[in-house]
Amino acid sequence: MKIRSAGIVAYGAYLPSQRVSGSQIAQAQGKLDDNIPHALGVTQKTVPEIDEDTITMSVQAGFQALERLNSRQKQKIGTLFIGSESHPYAVKPSASVVKAALGLPEQLASADLQFACKAGTQALQICASFVAAGMTKLGMAIGADTAQARPGDVLEFTASAGAAALIVGKENLLARLLATHSITTDTPDFWRRPKQDYPEHAGRFTGEPGYFYHVRTATQQLLEETNLRPEDIDWCVFHTPNAKFPQAAARQLGFHKHQLKHSLLVEEIGNTYAAASLLAFINVLDHAAAGQKILVTSYGSGAGADSFLFETTPLLVQQRKKWHGFLQEQADQATPISYQKTLSKLEH
Amino acid sequence: MKIKIIGTATTKFGELWDKSLEDLLREAVDGALRNANLEPKQIEAVFVANKAAGSYENQHHLNALVSQFFPHHPPAIRVEAACASGGLGIVTAEHALLADQYKTVLVVGVEKMSDLSASETTFILAGAADNTREYGSTFPALYALLAQSYEAKFGSQREYLSAVAVKNHRHALTNPQAQFHKEITAQQVAQSQLIADPLRLLDCSPISDGASAVILTTKQVSHKPQILGYGHAQDSLDLAGRSSLTTLAATTQAVEQALKKAKIKRSQLQVAEVHDCFTIAEILAIEDLGFFPKGQGGQATLDGETTIGGKIVINPSGGLKACGHPVGATGVKQIAFLAEQIQKGTYQYALAHNVGGSGATAVVHILGAS
Amino acid sequence: MEPAQYWRANKNWSAWIGRQGTVLVSTVVRTSSPQQDSFKPFSYLLVDFGKEKKELLGVGHQEFQPGDKVVCVLRKISDPSSRELVTYGIKVKKLESKETKDH
């Protein structure tokens, strides 16, 4: 779907400061010799503090995005969609709490989304459609998660926490959205029933029939629609359940390693689930030059993929000079904690 | 018009499993009547001081509960001002007496706290702070902030805080009603569990049950202790509104009012029961009451100036720390205890100091032999 | 927290989030009421925001010194039962990075 006029006007990111290392997790699992962190390409992951959750992190990311927006524009935000697998409520939207905390206008179309790791990018696509249709001047999309993994499971090495917020508009674009494309199939590679604390996953089935099929297909269809080839793209972002999958997807699609640079923060922060692709995109935006094309394809188990083609503008480079608290800086501000500490959770 | 204390009674303070709230009230009321050698019908009105029977026991309407102890059901009022409930109960009675509404009244303070868990109690007591603005505050946290401020200004206080606890436990040995009859050492205090830095477990007054009652009259009687004067002052409920975090302004104002009414000099005071809900509170109290210069209360305690043989005896009953602190009873017990000491001839002039919250309410009474 | 109390409280959040202040005095609470039990040890502080002072909880297990620059953020302020509303409120966190300090 080609988009006529919509793009990113501001964005913000938030990472909890605590980190637990892959070797600590391996030791706790009694699997030090299996070298799992190396196999996954993930050396450590973020761990939220005891009083953080998807809502509080969304507020942090949203606040940073608003700080970078002209303050008079806040009242023009007419949509807020938040994608997560760890919304604090089963019924009562995270969006309503975030709206209150950020002081967004009461005239707001909002809802929570769940579609595994692509819920955040789906939120972005929905906001872009509202803006492109002229139904709102600005829209905010958030992807956030405090991902949970069963102790002892391999997902424990990567399930982390973080939030990304992007504000979409028609004018003063930092990155123009040129086209977007989504696919959905009923592929049961990863799921969680309501009363369960932890998700189930289908092992190796999550690979080719899951991640790779959807990421490849959505990306190829977007490239076809826009008449572009991998070499026409400056930066590519593929969802990061670990550091290896996006690199393999890139190879399968004909992208080169250097195009993935800046999109592999997963190595230091783990898989932030519904925030992952958006945070990788944000890290690219933090480093890109003007006039560069960025391709972003997320993946959500269950399954589906959202693919986007953006082009950066000179305004991005100009505005960046005024900002602070960049994503890479947050990734670097790490407070290591023991595996034991990651187990302390609220009772309820 | 002179207000005399003609009867007193205080129950044992402590974890009194077999005594209910009502049992404690009856014991104190009956004890005071016997001590005064009065018939129940001679009590014209009753004032009940209590902080949290509503929360602890789901018992409201305490004024009616106590009134029914008397066959003639005298008019009764319940007064609540957190830990200053007792002192303010006495003040309320004084107003009624001075207005000549009644000639002889009974004031009883009571609290039954041990039925709930320590953490539930912490939650209930935290209601003495402003619960909408200070979410998450607990009493220890508020007094810990005061202790931190005091330390920042005057240096480390650990040995001074411990000295307060040690002294009060020693004093309590001679008070049969006290909750604790056990000496503690400064080392034990300094090594006890941290509650809210820098306050430790043995810096904190305990959870206690107990009641105390006094009978006040404006009738002519001789050789009975007299209330010479009182003061009552308020300050902001939350610390954010205080002008100083190293002085409780309500205390300094209340003591000036009391001294003025009593027409005596501070130096004539020989003994004081002050509000040591935490050890830091006693240090602040003896400074804010004007007994020692600001910043020197701790050293004075360490030097023995606040025990028998020193400049002024502070908390001979053991204070809240060692005698116990059934919240609503404390202010009344202070008066009862000092009245008994004066009656015995141990002291001539005494002061009682009762504080609510982290200093939002302060009540000071000055008693004397007549 | 009762629904009406939550609803009155959330109207103030956006006025505080992002506000910066200086720590006047702080303590670390190690024994608390049931609702904050899971958070201990946590800091309780008096913060100077220029025009006013406010008593607040500190985020997570962060410890503070007088003079620290802090910023207001939204965090969970208690751990109610699994049937009650999630209670959010304003806490403060240090403005500097949370790197381990060189001792």
pLDDT band at C100 (very low <50, low <70, confident <90, very high): very low
Would the pLDDT of C101 be above 60? Answer: no
Nearest CA in chain C to B196: C29
The pLDDT-based confidence of C102 (bands split at 50, 70, 90) is very low
Structure token pair of residue B63: 């004024």
Q: Are strands A18-21 and B349-356 parallel, antiparallel or unpaired?
A: unpaired
Count the domains in chain A. Answer: 2
Residues A12 and A64 in one domain: yes
A1 located within any domain: no
Q: DSSP states of chain C as a string? A: --HHHHHHHGGGHHHHTT-EEEEEEEEEE-S--GGGGGG-SEEEEEEE-SS-EEEEEESTT----TT-EEEEEEEE-----TTSPP-EEEEEEESS--PPPP-
Nearest Cβ partner of B136 from C9, C36, C46? C36
pLDDT value, residue B105: 98
Measured between beta carbons, which residues in chain C are less than 8 angstroms from residue B118?
31
Written as six digits, the tokens of A129 are 């459609």
A→C contacts (Cβ < 8 Å), by residue, are 17, 49-53, 55-56, 59-60, 63, 67, 88-89, 97, 100-103, 333-336, 344-348
User: Max CA-CA distance within chain C?
Assistant: 47
Name chain A contacts of C15, Cβ cutoff 8 Å.
103
Residues of A in contact with C81 (CB under 8 A): 348
Instruction: Confirm whether B52 is domain-assigned.
Output: yes
CA distance B276 to B354: 9
**B340 vs B271: CA distance, rounded Å:** 13
Residue B276 lies in a domain: no
Residue C98 has pLDDT above 60, yes or no: no
Catalytic residue among A181, A214, A239, A262: A239
- CA nearest neighbour of A245 among A7, A39, A22, A52: A39
Both tokens assigned to B20? 């209910």
Best mutation target among C30, C39, C79 (most B Cβ atoms within 10 Å) is: C30
Domain residue ranges in chain C: 3-94
What CA–CA distance (Å, rounded) separates B10 from B66?
Answer: 16
Residue C64 banded pLDDT, cuts 50, 70, 90: very high
The answer to whether residues A110 and A168 belong to one domain is: yes
User: What are the beta bridge partners of residue B203?
Assistant: none
Q: Is residue A169 part of a domain?
A: yes
Report pLDDT for A345: 79
Q: Are residues A37 and A159 in the same domain?
A: yes
Output the pLDDT for position A1.
Answer: 86
B76 near B66, Cβ under 8 Å?
Answer: yes
Residues A201 and A257 in one domain: yes
- Residue A183 and residue A117 share a domain: no
What pLDDT, on the 0 to 100 scale, is given for residue B303? Answer: 97
Instruction: Identify the pLDDT of residue B349.
Output: 98
Q: Are residues A112 and A200 in the same domain?
A: no
Residues A110, A24 share a domain: yes
The pLDDT assigned to B130 comes to: 59
Question: Is A85 among the residues known to form the active site?
Answer: yes
CATH number reported for the structural domain that contains residue B38 in this entry = 3.40.47.10
Q: Do residue A143 and residue A253 come from a single domain?
A: no
B325 is catalytic: yes
Q: What domain range is B81 assigned to?
A: 3-117+207-217
Over the stretch B237-265, which tens digit does the pLDDT of each residue have? 989 999 999 999 999 999 999 999 999 99
10-residue block means of pLDDT along chain B (370 residues)?
A: 97 95 97 98 98 81 95 97 96 98 98 83 70 65 96 94 98 97 97 95 96 98 97 94 96 98 97 98 98 97 97 98 97 98 97 95 96
The answer as to whether B40 is a domain residue is yes
What does the pLDDT read at residue B136? 65
Strand partners, A167: A10, A140
The low-confidence residues of chain A, meaning pLDDT below 70, are 347-348
Measured CA to CA, the distance from residue B188 to residue A26 in angstroms comes to: 43
Domain identity same for A114 and A179: no
| Helix or strand run (H / E) with residue A101 | helix A94-102
Q: Is C21 on the interface with B (CB under 8 A)?
A: no
Length of chain B in terms of residues written: 370
Task: List, for residues B292-337, the tens digit of each pLDDT value.
Answer: 999 999 999 999 999 999 999 999 999 999 999 999 999 999 999 9
Count the domains in chain B: 1
A127 is catalytic: no
Residue from B275, B325, B353, B365 carrying the catalytic annotation: B325
Which residue range forms the structural domain that includes residue A194?
Answer: 175-317
Q: How confident is the model at residue C90 (pLDDT cuts 50, 70, 90)?
A: very high
CATH of domain C3-94: 2.40.50
Matching residue, tokens 């810096």: B203
Q: Does residue A273 lie within any of the structural domains?
A: yes
Q: Would you call C44 an interface residue with chain B, using a CB distance cutoff of 8 Å?
A: yes
Other beta carbons within 10 Å of C95: 12
A230 and A143 co-located in one domain: no
Neighbours of B296 (CB within 10 A): 17
CA A135 to chain centroid, in Å, comes to 25
- Give contacts of C 47-86 with A, CB under 8 A: 59-61, 73-77, 79-82, 84, 86
Over pLDDT 90: what percentage of chain C?
74
Sorted by sequence, the CB contacts under 8 Å of residue B276 that are 6+ apart come out as B164, B168, B205, B282, B285, B315, B319, B320, B321
CB contact under 8 A, C53 and B195: no
Q: Omega of the bond prior to B198 within 30 degrees of 0, cis?
A: yes
Average of per-residue pLDDT values in chain B: 94
The pair of three-digit structure tokens given for residue B40, joined into one six-digit string: 């129940």
Confidence of residue C34 (pLDDT cuts 50, 70, 90): confident
Residue A186: give its domain's CATH number.
Answer: 3.40.47.10
Burial of A38 (0-12, 13-18, 19+ CB in 10 A): exposed
Verify that A296 and A221 share a domain, yes or no: yes
One domain, residues A188 and A93: no
Q: CB–CB of B133 and C46 under 8 A?
A: no
Instruction: Supply the pLDDT for residue C2.
Output: 85
With contact defined as 3+ CB pairs under 8 Å, the chains touching C are: A, B
